[in-house]
Structure 1
């Protein structure tokens, strides 16, 4: 992705009309994905999910001047709360590039890319993320209304980059969308990382990540906040005062020490904000499975 043009100012006025049209509509304009002639020869498209946590409902919209109106999506969380919501990778890949406003592009391999805009925080370029891994925080950077702008692209010319003229109609969770500014604008429930890792947890302090659950070979730091983990293993006890935990959580670190890996490192479940001694659950109270 060599550059992005911010949305035109007409967005603010057109979007208001779009939401009036949206009320009461459902999935009528979405159809089961069929490969078009232009993409029939493309490598198999990844199973792209909604870029949000499992179970969240978001409305898909577009507007006149989105250009192309039927391929670019603007997403708003049902009931509000768009700003500050975690943005997740639609599928596994690597953060390929940053660009304005508040955007990044993920390379999913085999010529497929996704684009996300207007985020207030972003994963660094080069970060390898699993499907459902955190890549940013929804915001209003470069626009007046908080939302997530989303695109799918296929590198048809083989230059190793996804360009605006290589944008395709998005297929999300098996459904192709070709929205028009007249609506309807469907609400879609995210199926990203449902019933399997990664699991989302809150941690109350920065935590050192190690190569194993015995505290051998420190790899880097997992920052305090909302993080994803894959699974747990029983290991060396971490005890501070009367509080303790033997469980260790496999995850990818935010800060990697020089010469270390940082992926699939182990962080003590002692740092979980919501749970007690020898507990290892996600933010929804689900037991994190054994590795």
Structure 2
């Protein structure tokens, strides 16, 4: 009987601990680790632990030497690992959340410095065990790698090679609010919602848009159509152009919502 009482007391203590354990801390709203308006492609391979992604630039600009930006504010620490990460930065965002940035060509912060979201922490390089310039990027919660989310949107499922998925950055952008959408194909962009003269291209993948306006209809042979046009910064061409909401990967005819289902506001 005494043994049974001890077991019950132990179970009660475990249960009390579970009931009083602190809840998981919500992640910061992480942004891409490179400058506003740039588009990079990303990939994951089995040798990369902790659900990391590697990013290389895909918009025609150089990968090497491009600024690496803090995904969210926090305390930044700089390290060096010759046989692995090379020059790397860890940012402690509080609440158990950290981000890692490997293979930097140079540092832009001092050890233990507080940084703001969008602040430069280094430059992209290929130091350590690396075959070419790229940003190796991780998000960890209590030391465990997490599926990477940018602006609250998961980048999973991860591609196994570059140039399958793309991500345009709004880190450090100022002005209008942005809404994240997935597009299923490379889409032509225009100077206005009624224009027929193409001014550039928005690559397929996850992109940000600012607002919507009603314009000319885009329709295919299967009966899918959309009159809404979304203001965005394309991958090719000038900023503040328009792409048809027809190219959104989800929703339906004459709908213009972001990946979370929020109706994109009128311009």
TM-score normalised by L of structure 2: 0.51
Paired with 1:83 and 1:182, the residues of 2 have a C-alpha distance of 19
Counterpart position of 1:137: 123
Counterpart position of 1:278: none
List aligned pairs for 1:159-178, cutoff 5 A. 163=143, 166-178=144-156
Of 64, 68, 89, 1:83 maps to: 64
Paired with 2:162 and 2:76, the residues of 1 have a C-alpha distance of 32
- Matched residue count: 147
Q: What does the per-residue CA deviation read over 1:27-70, in whole Å, with 9 as the maximum and x for residues that have no partner?
A: xxxxxxxxxxxxx94201000000111101011111232235xx
Paired with 2:55 and 2:105, the residues of 1 have a C-alpha distance of 15
List aligned pairs for 1:1-291, cutoff 5 A. 41-68=23-50, 71-78=51-58, 79-100=60-81, 101-122=86-107, 123-142=109-128, 143-155=130-142, 163=143, 166-178=144-156, 179-181=158-160, 185-195=164-174
SS in 2 for 1:102: strand
SS in 1 for 2:77: strand
Which runs of 5 or more structure 1 residues have no equivalent in the other structure? Answer: 1-39, 156-162, 197-283, 285-291
Paired with 2:42 and 2:162, the residues of 1 have a C-alpha distance of 10
Does the CA contact (< 8 Å) of 1:103 and 1:118 recur in 2? Answer: yes
Does the CA contact (< 8 Å) of 2:42 and 2:161 recur in 1? Answer: no
Paired with 1:182 and 1:147, the residues of 2 have a C-alpha distance of 13
Q: What does the per-residue CA deviation read over 1:75-109, in whole Å, with 9 as the maximum and x for residues that have no partner?
A: 00112400000000001111134242111100011
Name the larger-Rg structure. Answer: 2
Paired with 2:147 and 2:45, the residues of 1 have a C-alpha distance of 15
SS in 2 for 1:120: strand
Paired with 1:137 and 1:182, the residues of 2 have a C-alpha distance of 23
Does the CA contact (< 8 Å) of 1:42 and 1:154 recur in 2? Answer: no
Paired with 1:96 and 1:182, the residues of 2 have a C-alpha distance of 30
Q: What does the per-residue CA deviation read over 1:158-193, in whole Å, with 9 as the maximum and x for residues that have no partner?
A: xxxxx3xx1111111221123142677311110112
Paired with 2:27 and 2:90, the residues of 1 have a C-alpha distance of 16
94-103 or 105-114, larger mean C-alpha shift:
94-103
Misfit runs of 4+, over 3 Å: 182-185
Residue 145 to residue 121, structure 1, CA distance change in 2 (3 Å): same
Paired with 1:41 and 1:96, the residues of 2 have a C-alpha distance of 26
Does the CA contact (< 8 Å) of 1:173 and 1:191 recur in 2? Answer: no
Does the CA contact (< 8 Å) of 2:77 and 2:110 recur in 1? Answer: no
Residue 99 to residue 154, structure 1, CA distance change in 2 (3 Å): farther
RMSD: 2.2
Paired with 1:144 and 1:182, the residues of 2 have a C-alpha distance of 15
